[in-house]
Structure 1
Amino acid sequence: MARPRAFDEGVALSAAIDGFWAQGYGAAGTRDLAARMGLTTASFYNAFGDKRGLFLKALDQYLVETLRQRIARLDPLPPREAVAGFVADVVERSLADPQRRGCMLINAALDVTAQDPEIRDKVAGGMEQIRAFFQRHVQAGQADGTISTAQSAEDLARLFLGVVLGIRVMARLHADRDQLEGMARPVLALLTP
């Protein structure tokens, strides 16, 4: 019979997220991660298998705590407000990060996905959730007349995804409100009927 875990996995995963987010997958060492999580190296390996296994669980938790919660909060809004709210959240989250860590999902796309198909698929799934959110709300806004039909919903969704990714990457270099909002304003203007 397996012994019950003597630690809170959610707390440990939050600490792991901070470690991966701050250092990136490649630079985060197993011992450092275990120490951040308050675990011995043996407990780390028993609970998560290896760094890759931990990263997959940490990425899942990050997606739940950030992306899925944001989508759930914004989905009930009217279409234009939902789209603008998502972009505004990304800008505010970027500006509120003094460490300029960016987005863990995007960081993973740049750091890990070339070497690991499973991580690449998980990252692509997160990106697809963002694109689908935008497409769903643009289509709804086009149907009710609150969003322009000059561009297809599919193209606008892809464009919004690209802008969100760009904002998060630029925020790592230069987290300046004027710059980030300046990236968002022109694409939001495309929504005007």
Structure 2
Amino acid sequence: MPRGRKRAFNRDAALDTAMELFWRQGYASTSIADLTAAMGINPPSLYAAFGNKRALLEEALELYAGERAHYLIEALAEPTARLAVRRFLIGTAEAATLPDRPAGCLTVQGGLACAEEDREVVALLAAHRGRTRQALLERFEKAVADGDLSEDTDCRALALCVVAAAQGLNVEAASGTSRDELLAAAKLAAAVVPGL
């Protein structure tokens, strides 16, 4: 490498670092200076690689969703709605307490304490959470069609209930609740779904 020429940074590693920073500190509390210091780049390099802070968050959310997708996919494939909810909530508790990641959930913690000018960020995070709710809603509607859940099941309310339980598990994880306690709570929460 010629003298004076800067080494190119690893974009994937930088994105992973940004994701963790947004996860730990939230969007509003994470400054460009925080990001560039953690990522080991200067502001012009950040803007050239990612556009701006909001665009960087959007990419970080896609990376995060990709990391978390496996347990939702596994849950949706379970043969009954109750087993699907159980797998989803257990997966939530496990993912919220990984030793090499921040505790909790980026889509919950990332938007806490946002100012009025960051309402779009709050909406973006809510939309990401909404994907999970929609996937669960569709799974419950299938369960009704298959006769696994009764015809009078309020699938929307059930999906909201399960997502609220998952968000609660993430908040508890971020507050320091142990994995064992979260797993016990996840199993108990799954009992709201009829069956088994």
Structure 1: segments with no counterpart, 5+ residues: none
Matches within 5 A, 1:42-191: 42-66=44-68, 68-80=69-81, 81-97=83-99, 101-112=103-114, 114-147=116-149, 151-177=153-179, 179-191=181-193
Q: How many residues align?
A: 188
Structure 2: segments with no counterpart, 5+ residues: 1-6
CA distance in 1, matches of 2:194, 2:143: 10
Structure 1 vs Structure 2 CA RMSD:
2.7
Task: Please say if residues 16 and 37 of structure 1, whose CA atoms lie closer than 8 Å, have aligned partners that are also in contact.
Answer: yes
* Deviation digits for residues 21-76 of structure 1 (CA, Å, limit 9, x no counterpart): 1222233232331232232232113223433332232223222332x444334433
* Deviation digits for residues 119-164 of structure 1 (CA, Å, limit 9, x no counterpart): 2332121121111122122222233333455641111111001111
CA distance in 1, matches of 2:97, 2:90: 11
Q: Which has the higher contact order (CA 8 A, sep 6+)?
A: 2
Moved over 6 A (4+): none
TM-score (norm 1): 0.80
CA separation of 1:9/1:116 partners in 2, compared to 1, >3 Å: closer, same or farther?
A: same
CA distance in 1, matches of 2:102, 2:19: 15
CA separation of 1:100/1:55 partners in 2, compared to 1, >3 Å: closer, same or farther?
A: closer
Task: Please say if residues 19 and 61 of structure 2, whose CA atoms lie closer than 8 Å, have aligned partners that are also in contact.
Answer: yes
* Deviation digits for residues 71-121 of structure 1 (CA, Å, limit 9, x no counterpart): 334433324333221111011122334775310000123233753243233
Q: Which moved more, 1:20-29 or 1:151-160?
A: 20-29
Task: Please say if residues 27 and 111 of structure 2, whose CA atoms lie closer than 8 Å, have aligned partners that are also in contact.
Answer: no
Q: Which amino acid aligns with 2:72?
A: I
Q: Which amino acid aligns with 2:161?
A: L
CA separation of 1:56/1:114 partners in 2, compared to 1, >3 Å: closer, same or farther?
A: farther
Q: Which moved more, 1:103-112 or 1:135-144?
A: 135-144
Q: Which amino acid aligns with 2:169?
A: I
CA distance in 1, matches of 2:57, 2:95: 22
